[in-house]
Structure 1
């Protein structure tokens, strides 16, 4: 059997009494987590859900997420995790596009009215037959009696279900997860990932991060995203770790949790590391944070070298960067332990994975040249669900082209140059925004920067930098532009600078450059 649920079941047999999940004041042992997931599987089976059916899940980082996630897998169904920030129309699209037969949706609250939005979306979707409102305590005993108004919540529904379940056998090539891409172009597409994809990625990550007796993860990455799922949820439980769940990242709260739970493992996107170095954490007890933290992992976007340097100076630990995307389960490269960290590099291919750099016609580029990253290995998706044409655009002969440009040093370490779609062509010259961002971040008055290309009547595109200044900094747009002109080639430096208090990010903390372009276009004189 190769059902992804084995990462939980095996650990539940080995360390049943160890705490698997911490969610606020709630703690679930491996035994309790496995039993609750078994009840979810029984519930689905009782409603006629069978192997291969699609089941959607909208839930933040709380104990219910792993309970329902593994329960769906145990039943033989395919998990379709959804971004918790989606609205009614968007949820309905995902339910319909994935052919979901059932939908688990967190009740939410005033700030996150997910239950209301989800129920409305479910009502809008033909073919989705079962709706479960995630509410109550996942470890409620079978004798529990629901209070008024709780008779239809998931916790109550599970009290009548047995705590043991015979997990449905899955073949390596059977679908386990459908992860929807962010949809930067066109409508979101579902990357269909197999049990083999996900298990190999989890176990490979476990080996890469180093085997220790007991890690404690701070899980601030959203679990509906591939990064959090593979690197922390699946790999963490396979390693018999304790996962401290954080529903919404804020730097001060993260540091408090790291200290309180003696966290040893942190994974985040660059904006999270930027937050850990910000003014909100200036008075943090750094020694208490660094005392137990043994590994810090970055992914989701290229990590600026300046943030890498500052984190190492502040916390005494070098960040190990990796690379991947939803279509690669997600990890494809990593800076492995036991090797010298190379700031700016995404590392080398993980075990069982090949990486090549190719030209637009798929031919490999020569030594020292920049090319688009193409990947082949056990981590590559089956394809985009029900989209053979879209799949054919990015896959050929087992290779997946990623849309990211990179170069390779003499030792085979890879360095992201930029997104192919983000490259600015100014007056016939290719300009890579990441290179400019790295230079701007070296200025003491710059805390964060994002560079985009905007339409220009003469040059085709002009370079614009959106900058979050360092607190208390006294600098003008003209002064920063003059400084940039003195530090980089004339065709590269940003002619336009706009200061902002913050940059737009998605639910995973990735800077949304398309929003910056859209804002510029909307404010441009007509």
Structure 2
């Protein structure tokens, strides 16, 4: 295997092997009533690799996994890294059509699935490509695993996330990215083998899989996995497992706060060293309430699936974080803030953020045009507006792109609009993001009925629910006789927001 100057390991699997050598008997993963030591973890990864080889998966081949959080998802992640295969983790909340698209588009040969998503999986993928995840527990003979050398620039992950075009974007990441990201995060947050990271984020998303779980294991720490997020279960797990690091989206922290406030409960979070909040804007009001209730600060963190990590607070930075700041540039991040004409902005001037981070995407799968449009001078164009102060702290001031971020999950307005317009009673539709106290932002639809149609909000909600994931469904729908048009002939969503924000605020 080859190594690069950027990272000390040629592959994600080589990085894990280093953790195993350092402390083979230490607990690596805790899941429900089971503890898996690092040496056991290595053995289970090798067993998973043998299962993959039996099914024809080797270097350059693609396979997918679709399940609630469980250790097998990490076994698949590292087994893919060992073989040089490509891994496609899928969120368990995806609908049948979304799984069908992702599986087909990625070119995956097989899909591992659990009982929770079995019905969806069977409707989305042909029977001969479906494998129950429980079969990975079968111990195969310890034969030599045939594998080819893995290079740091080999494709490794394909992550699907909502795009502004309505079709999910398929983001390809290589080994160098997935080794470099935990190194940068450990430097920024001071993550070590002494940390115990609690993971309640879906392992089907990069935030849960790589930023939380894999980063904890690469540092030689212990990773505690919960099947799903529930505020009480997470709060209890903090104490039961003596957790020190937790990653979440604002909605998670808001739900924990409200769960305790409504029941007048108190949990001792004094053992928590880092409570990292990312994925959507964190309101200062909610952050203050959380600190007041639990005597622990939430730490803002900024990254994208395409580019991680970007901004955050360094564990050894003695400077107070200015109000409203997202932090400093992460280790290894090259950052530019540009005006529309491409020149660099001055201090405290808003501009578009361009960045290359420790983990930057290799390309959008099967979309060279989107890949080319997203890059400028080897930097990724985020579509976000930021400014930098004279001390090197950054502030997110807006978004150029229209993506709605509900509780950390991306929603493409055009994807929801297409589904609404597919209803026979709808002539036109626009979906906009509105501020929400719990989720940060939610989708709201404005619909123009077809002539003679009396379609209701309830009927349209049911229609969207049947075709898209629950978090994408607009629960509030306004009806208009026409949509306002801008100078270019496109729907003027700014006018819609100004019109309906007072109604939403009053509701």
Fold equivalence (TM over 0.5):
yes
Evaluate the alpha carbon distance shift between residue 277 and residue 160 of structure 1 in structure 2; reply closer, same or farther with a 3 A threshold: same
- What whole-Å deviation, never above 9, does each CA across 1:317-339 have from its counterpart, x for those lacking one? 222221111111x3222111122
Matched, 1:520 2:477: yes
Q: Distance in 2 between matches of 1:242 and 1:67?
A: 15
Q: Which residue of 2 aligns with 1:75?
A: 83
Match of 1:155 in 2: 137
Cα distance change on mapping 1:168 and 1:205 into 2, 3 Å: farther
Deviation string, structure 1 residues 51-75 (Cα, Å, up to 9, x no partner): 1111111122112211222122212
The 3-state SS of whatever aligns with 1:196 is helix
Q: Which residue of 2 aligns with 1:428?
A: none
Relative to structure 1, the CA distance from residue 465 to residue 204 in structure 2 (aligned partners, 3 Å threshold; closer, same or farther) is closer
Which of 74, 78, 84 aligns to 2:92? It is 84
| Structure 1 residues 280-338: Cα deviation after superposition (integer angstroms, max 9, x where no partner) | 4555764x53221111111111211122222222222222221111111x322211112
1:343-492 aligned at under 5 Å gives the runs: 343-422=323-402
Question: Segments of 4+ in structure 1 off by > 6 A?
Answer: 461-464
Q: Is the 8 A contact 1:38 1:163 kept in 2?
A: no
Runs of 5+ unmatched residues, structure 1: 109-113, 136-152, 424-432, 435-451, 453-460, 470-505
| Native 8 Å contact 1:105 1:132 kept in 2 | yes
What aligned pairs does 1:18-417 form with structure 2 within 5 A after superposition?
A: 18-108=26-116, 114-123=117-126, 130-135=129-134, 153-156=135-138, 159-162=139-142, 165=145, 168-280=148-260, 283=263, 286=266, 289-328=268-307, 330-339=308-317, 340-417=320-397
Number of matched pairs = 421
1:401 is displaced (CA, Å) by 0.6
Pair 331,357 (structure 1): closer, same or farther in 2 beyond 3 Å? same
SS in 2 for 1:520: strand
Q: Deviations over 1:48-102 (max 9, x none)?
A: 2221111111122112211222122212101111111122222111111111122
Cα-to-partner distance string for 1:354-413 (whole Å, 9 max, x where unaligned): 111223444323332211211024422111011001111111221111111112211121
Bigger RCO of structures 1 and 2 (CA < 8 A, at least 6 apart): 2
**1:15/1:370 CA distance change after superposition, 3 Å:** same
Q: Separation in 1 of the partners of 2:108 and 2:82?
A: 17
Separation of aligned partners in 2, 1:160 and 1:92: 30
Give, in angstroms, the shift of residue 230 of structure 1: 2.2
Cα 1:14–1:390, aligned 2, differ >3 Å: closer, same or farther?
Answer: same
CA RMSD of aligned residues (A): 3.0
* TM superposition score normalised by structure 1: 0.74
Decide whether the 8 Å contact of 1:40 with 1:72 is kept in 2: no
Structure 2: give runs of 5+ residues left out of the alignment. 2-9, 406-412, 414-429, 439-464, 483-507
Q: What's the offset of the Cα at 1:193?
A: 0.5
